[in-house]
Amino acid sequence: MTVAATTVLVTGAFGQIGKRCTEILLDRGHTVVAMDLRTDKTVAAQRELSARAGTLIPAYVDLLDPAAVRELVATHRPAAIIHLAAIVSPPSYRNPAVARKVNVGGTENLLAAAAELPHKPLFLMASSAAVYGSRNPYRHPERITPDTPVNPIDQYGQDKVLAEAAIRASGLPYALFRLAGVASPDTQGSINGDYLALLRSMPGDNRIHMVDARDVGLAFANGVDRAATIAGKVLLIGGDESYVMLQRDLQDDMMAAAGLGRLGPAASLPGDPNDDRGWSFTGWYDTTETQALLDFQEHDWHQTLDWIAKSQGRRRIVARALSPLLRPLVLATLLMQRRLEGRGPYADPWALIAKKYGPGALATPD
């Protein structure tokens, strides 16, 4: 399909999804106004993307500066806006008030600027499976669909529900992309204490749907080119059936890709079948409609794992050599942490999250 080149504003343009989406848009001849915060990492990504076709316009603008956002949008008059920038969980749990300003207030600043344009741009929003909250697979064995009610349990999921509501009320043409768990080499590089705490909190038998970051970037790029068919829709962005798994299988696959090897079922606690709050996101998506509309599922889970494994380089060689010593140490550490935290037979993830970060990490009553 040949589509006329146009101007697209991408927020978070140099991040995990943004840089892959921007690359595709540039290769298709679009002009990309690449909005992000200036760091060594984003400047490096800018230099890499500058070699592509199309026109890249770097814009180091803060979403929380409404005047700067308004000036940027008015100057470039994008035909489409891809909104990826956010403070995601679990970092958002450390300062939920700031996260809300960025995730909701920043979105509102962008919407207000776009609404002033004479030709209203298509607004594509990166939402999240976190809007669905705790999904007990014993009570909800069905797949998540665009019609599944939202019920966020954490602050981040509630931020996304509020941002979605602002988009619907904006009067702009829009589509809401609710992302499954996104995997890439960037994910491995950003693992820290917060991410490990989130992983430890999740039940090993929690249903999780993953997706390759390259395919997410393609979904957004294709959304720009297929505006007429997706406007007003909720689109579930998950990988093909090879990305449908349980949390313990995901963790073992990722550990194997990093070179450490599988930890097995002892590395996690199960979820309580009788506790609807005792589970985590993402659940399993029905991606039939989204794939038909966006044609974005180009990779399978084994290809994603191979991508991650190759990105580790020498670190993976070292990890594999040390894995017979490291695996028992990791398992012993996990067991000790559970005892120190007084955890029972079930994962009870949100009790652990609230204990670590405070009640602000959880969704507040309406």
Region 273-291 average pLDDT? 95
Task: Give tens-digit pLDDT for 337-363.
Answer: 899 989 999 999 999 999 999 999 999
Q: How many whole angstroms separate alpha carbon 159 and alpha carbon 364?
A: 10
Check pLDDT > 80 for residue 95: yes
Cite the beta strand spans of the chain per DSSP E.
Answer: 7-11, 31-36, 55-60, 80-83, 122-128, 174-179, 181-183, 207-212, 234-237, 244-246
Find, among 297, 304, 13, 296, the residue nearest to 185 by Cα.
304
Residue 3: pLDDT band (50, 70, 90) is low
C-alpha 102/C-alpha 126 separation (Å) is: 13
Sequence-distant (≥ 6) Cβ neighbours of residue 358 within 8 angstroms: none
Angstrom distances, CA of residue 343 to CA of 35, 137, 243, 339, 355:
43, 21, 30, 6, 11
Q: What is the pTM of this model?
A: 0.95
Residue 84: pLDDT band by 50, 70, 90 thresholds? very high
Per-residue pLDDT of 297-337, as tens digits, reads 999 999 999 999 999 999 999 999 999 999 999 899 889 98
User: CB of 285 within 8 A of CB of 238?
Assistant: yes
Rounded to an integer, what distance in angstroms lies between the CA atom of residue 290 and that of residue 283? 16
Please state the domain extents for the chain: 7-357
Residue 123: beta bridge partners? Answer: 81, 174
User: Nearest Cα to 272, choosing from 132, 137, 129, 131?
Assistant: 137
Give CATH for domain 7-357: 3.40.50.720
- Mean pLDDT for 200-211 is 95
For residue 322, the model assigns a pLDDT of 94
Answer for the pair 361, 155: CB distance below 8 angstroms, yes or no. yes
pLDDT tens digits, 36-73: 999 999 999 999 999 888 899 999 999 999 999 999 99
Task: State mean pLDDT over 121-137.
Answer: 97
Rg from Cα positions in the chain: 20
The predicted-structure confidence for 5-32, as pLDDT tens digits, reads as follows 799 999 999 999 999 999 999 999 999 9
Q: How many CB atoms lie within 10 A of CB 127?
A: 25
> What is the H or E stretch that residue 19 is in?
helix 18-27
Q: What is the DSSP string of 172-217?
A: S-EEEEEE-EEESHHHHHT--HHHHHHHHHS-TT-EEEEEEHHHHH
Above 80 in pLDDT, residue 188?
A: no
Per-residue pLDDT of 211-249, as tens digits, reads 999 999 999 999 999 999 999 999 999 999 999 999 999
Pair 80, 6: CB distance under 8 Å: yes
Preceding omega of 90 cis (within 30 degrees of 0): yes
Provide the residue count of the chain. 366
| DSSP letter for each residue of 138-156 | TT--SPB-TTSPP---BHH
What percent of the chain has a predicted confidence (pLDDT) above 70? Answer: 97
Q: How far apart are CA 276 and CA 356, in angstroms?
A: 21
Contact 81, 123 (CB under 8 A): yes
Whether 174 and 124 have beta carbons less than 8 Å apart is answered as: yes
